[in-house]
Homo-oligomer: A and B are copies of this chain.
């Protein structure tokens, strides 16, 4: 992976074929969907033999960009991709065996292989050009506190659960900020975000003593190119036992001035026996643990109302706004302006405080 901003530095753009065979319409294909909706690089096609001949936006409503779906690698190669990306992010999982064969063929045809899996593909595809997105830089430092002094305001998304739309919310707020003429930067901390922006560190792949140091380094780098506002993509949730360590390392390491809570209307358990906290239950905990190091109030709630009709979505937004007493909006459905306003109104905070 890279932490130097090669997107800004004139590196030729990638032209992606997305490998998601049998999975493209599944929510586990979130790297595929994220790249289509928010990527800066072109997507020439999706490979999914179960959906061949259809269009991406037809198979997955709500995508911001479209692409043809083809049935096999041969069809994809005719469209001139530079890179093939594994469009699946199974939790902790390894790549389906049959996909390796396709990737080997793609590499033999001259394509770069891009993967965000924990499993590294470089060693398994000798001779191929591989971008293992999750491979962290070798020189990630320990947290130093240097991040306390960054000049731009820093906002971080946090969630009532993982996989709740933190990356999307962060990107929508960035877009809204840029539309207002602000020099805002998106800090990618997960595999899809890093692919989208060709920059960042997958903090969940860093050795755990260095999570906070990785987050701090990203914010320090972003401060150089985004003087107005830094928007950090959150990970996991304080309430998800598998990922809460990543969540808190990122929360302390990125030295945010304020937080944006991401929530949805689901009441499914986070994990068997682990209930999903309400926004009003988890907000004081996010603020409490943040304030041990540097105060970072939750200033807005970004809700994900995908799958609800307009009436149900409006009711949900109103309920969350009432129970949290915070500006609340679904940035995908109705724009991120109310959230951005709240972030811009929040003060910079200082590290020290009396307990």
Contacts and interface: CB of A to CB of B under 8 A. Distances in A.
Interface of A: 91-92, 118, 141-143, 145, 148, 203-213, 238-239, 241-250, 252-253, 271-278, 281-282, 284-285, 288-289, 292-294, 350-355
A209 B246 contact: yes
A268 to B, nearest CB: 13
A207 B203 CA distance: 9
Contact of A285 (B145, B208, B292): B292
Given A205-B207, A285-B292, A274 B143 contact: no
27 contacts: A143-B241, A145-B271, A145-B274, A204-B207, A204-B209, A205-B209, A209-B242, A211-B246, A212-B243, A212-B244, A238-B248, A238-B289, A239-B292, A241-B253, A244-B292, A245-B249, A245-B250, A246-B249, A247-B248, A248-B248, A273-B351, A274-B294, A275-B352, A275-B354, A277-B292, A281-B355, A285-B285
A244 B289 contact: yes
Given A92-B141, A245-B249, A285-B285, 11 more contacts: A92-B209, A118-B209, A142-B242, A145-B271, A145-B274, A204-B209, A208-B211, A213-B242, A241-B293, A245-B245, A275-B355
A165 B346 CA distance: 39
B285 A352 contact: no
A187 to B, nearest CB: 17
Contacts of A246: 208-209, 211, 245, 249
Copies, count: 2
Nearest to A277: B355
List the 8 closest A-B pairs by CB distance, nearest first: A245-B249, A273-B351, A241-B252, A143-B242, A239-B292, A204-B209, A92-B142, A208-B208
A293 B249 contact: no
Given A208-B207, A272-B145, A289 B285 contact: yes
Contacts of A275: 352-355
Interface centre among A118, A210, A292 (most CB of B within 10 A): A292
Nearest to A255: B241
A249 B212 contact: no
A350 B247 CA distance: 24
B242 A248 contact: no
Contacts of A293: 239, 241, 244, 274
Given A246-B209, A274-B352, A288-B288, A142 B91 contact: yes
A205 B248 CA distance: 17
A212 B288 CA distance: 22
Contacts of A239: 292-293
Contact of A244 (B145, B248, B350): B248
A288 B291 CA distance: 14
Contacts of A118: 207, 209
Contacts of A289: 238, 244, 285, 289
